[in-house]
Structure 1
Amino acid sequence: MSLPPLERTAEESACAEALRVIRSRSGLSLKELAAQTPYSKSSWERYLNGKAHPPRAAVVALCRLARQSPARPLALWERAETARNRPPRPVAAVAVAVPERLPAPAPLSAPAPVSVPEEIPVREEPRRPALRHARTAAVLAAALLCTAWLVVAGPWRSESADAPADAPVSSEPEFACHGEPCTGRDVIATRCGMHPTTVSTHRPLPGLRIDLRYEVGCGAGWVRVWGQRIGDVFTVSAAGGEPQTVTVPDKYATGVRLHTPMVATDSPEALRVCVSLAPDGPRKCYPAASAATG
């Protein structure tokens, strides 16, 4: 006999509703989401309708495509993830009293009449004490399970949206690409941007910061910028690779961390970033091996 499907928690429903709002604001169809992320059209349909709980990377990728901060959606995702991992409440076992079997009547030795008692007493087991004991045992079991779960889950903390990008990790992430297949791909969707190394930092203007970043597990690098303005253009390149560019299109791409697509390289020292600042600013290039400028 097949088990019934698990019901969605209130936290999962709230997370799915937030993702639907973000997708609506982005104007992207399910087909376009599938084309720009590692997740299929059918997977996005399940995530947005609450039929399946999405991976954390899918929430981050959707927020990036919608040019929205992932802080609140990730908070809702973490609450849903915690609710999904709650231990099930134990079901109290109910004791059922079974009456004793009556003895079989003795065979008649003669056709003489046999006297049968009008009423045969049946011993009844007391039920209320058994139910009370079962309920007490169930409450104690639930308390023990919750205590054990809190002890195990207490030290766990998921990475928050505002955590430092260079924070240490407890386990090696699984990357979606390595080397040349990473060229032109997004650092969030491929998980290459989880905990990379900052090769060098450059500050062409006050308030503008440019980081050359590299992930050895992906064999690729990219540029991350802060303090950019509308019209600024940033290009990352490496010897023998195809340069990758990001242009700041509108105000929604300012005031947030922005990054270029990746370029494959075996050496982080081979990375180079070129900057064209708006309006009509001169093009300046900075190699990764140069000292950070201020």
Structure 2
Amino acid sequence: RATVFRWLLEKVGFARAELVISSGAPLPPPVAMLWQTWGVNLCEAYGQTETGGALVTGQRGPYPRPGDVGTGAPNIEIEHPDATRALYRQGKLATGDVGEWTGARALKLVDRKKDILITAGGKNVSPSHVENRLRASPYISEAAVFGEGRKYLVALLEADGETLAEWARERGVVHTGYASLVAHPEVVGLIETEVKRANDELTRVEQVKAFRLLPRELDPELEGEPVTPTRKVKRRLMAERYGELVESMYAEDEEQRIAAEVADLQTED
């Protein structure tokens, strides 16, 4: 494979790479499969600042308790004895993550424990998992999913301005900038199609039943933005900043529309 795609790997500087490691955010499986098809040995690494580097890259036993991510860390100290002791569980550093072991006994991170939301029906949902599916669309650059204590999940979406502008140009969609572009009915319809495509890869409880496009693009360099410089979404700040948009997706008429759609789907099943 590396021979067939060598010309491509040379263009991106990976022709001589023996190992490429992805870290930070979960790596979408289609992306990993594509690079591996091209002949790049791409894998994910997981670690924390407190551990001084990577912890696992598909760790082999002994394994932590299912659902918990921890690691033997007798030498880790954060210079606050009480705080350090609070982080340990049976001699292991409790990282605060939720994970699961795949059939290949490789660690798959699900989400941060504190970020797992529980719906009104008592179902645990990883918002990061849903957001990653939404961001797989070339037209969606960021996503923030909400649904704690609610009947269904909703999402605030930032459209990819450049990709969307090109799409609009090819179709003659007139606009004066990002705000007018995301308000255009054809664009809303496009994003709705992308959300439905993401929902097809999610379980019913994980599916996004309503969404709103942010009226402006996020600026990670701007202080106070609901996104970090590395473009990690701050859901709590996002909910505060755009609370009216979130609540509009739980309005009575919106709930009735969604309930009707769900009933139609159940009838089809």
The TM tier, using the shorter chain, reads under 0.3
Q: Which has the higher contact order (CA 8 A, sep 6+)?
A: 1
Q: Which has the larger radius of gyration?
A: 1
**Greater per-residue helix proportion:** 2
- Normalising by structure 1, report the TM-score: 0.23
TM-score between the two structures when normalised by the length of structure 2? 0.24
